């Protein structure tokens, strides 16, 4: 077990929060968002590639996404990838551009997405708690090795707990905001 390093714990906790924000960004709300297509993988040139590596994705209107495919041969595979991504989107081919109208969400789909946002948040909370546990264990190990006195260990444990609490609060705020956005409240 490595020695206690506050900066490393903080970096790992921030990583969990950033991962959550990325996951939440991919959840569909009623508005068009270019991050909505981030999980789409297109089969081109004999391999699977993220859509944003074969096309430019933009949101010219609040209810429309535009995907400008760079290579003409990529239009079919991009169309197929978007349709089969499970996002409930049906692109319209317009030359070398795919226009994707964003349909209204049904109440049932909104509830599913809100539940998924909650699951993403719980995954992030668990990741932060695991980092906290690692930090606490390394502090106890350092105390046994004589690196810290009991008082110093307790002071550092308080720091780790405060960091954990602030990260959990940030996760809760991000998840709550996304759920409100999804449910249209």
For 3-38, write each residue's pLDDT tens digit.
678 889 999 999 999 888 887 877 766 666 777 777
Phi, psi of 42 (to 5 degrees): -105, 135
Question: CA nearest 95: which of 136, 124, 55, 52?
Answer: 55
The residues pairing with 44 across neighbouring beta strands, listed in sequence order, are 47
How would you classify the pairing of strands 64-69 and 92-94? unpaired
How would you classify the pairing of strands 55-61 and 47-50? unpaired
pTM above 0.75, yes or no: no
For 66-96, write each residue's pLDDT tens digit.
899 888 888 888 898 888 877 778 898 888 8
Residue-level pLDDT at 31? 67
Outline where the chain has alpha helix (H): 6-25, 75-83, 107-145, 150-183
Taking a C-beta distance cutoff of 8 angstroms, is the pair 134, 23 a contact? no
For 57-66, write each residue's pLDDT tens digit.
888 887 788 8
Q: Please tell me the distance from the alpha carbon of residue 172 to that of residue 77, in angstroms, as a whole number.
A: 38
For 149-174, write each residue's pLDDT tens digit.
999 999 999 999 999 999 999 999 99
């Amino acid at each position: 077990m490595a020695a206690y390093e506050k900066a490393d714990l903080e970096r790992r906790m921030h990583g969990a929060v950033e991962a959550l924000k990325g996951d939440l960004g991919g959840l569909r709300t009623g508005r068009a968002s270019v991050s909505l297509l981030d999980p789409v993988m297109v089969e081109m040139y004999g391999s699977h590639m993220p859509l944003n590596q074969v096309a430019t994705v933009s949101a010219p209107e609040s209810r429309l996404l535009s995907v400008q495919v760079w290579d003409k041969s990529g239009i079919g595979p991009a169309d197929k990838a978007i349709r089969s991504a499970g996002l409930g989107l049906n692109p319209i081919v317009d030359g070398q551009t795919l226009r994707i109208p964003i349909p209204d969400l049904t109440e049932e789909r909104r509830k599913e997405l809100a539940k998924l946002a909650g699951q993403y948040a719980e995954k992030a909370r668990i990741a932060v708690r695991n980092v906290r546990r690692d930090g606490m264990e390394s502090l106890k190990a350092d105390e046994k090795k004589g690196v810290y006195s009991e008082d110093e260990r307790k002071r550092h444990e308080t720091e780790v707990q405060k960091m954990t609490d602030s990260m959990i609060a940030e996760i809760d705020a991000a998840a709550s905001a996304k759920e409100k956005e999804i449910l249209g409240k």
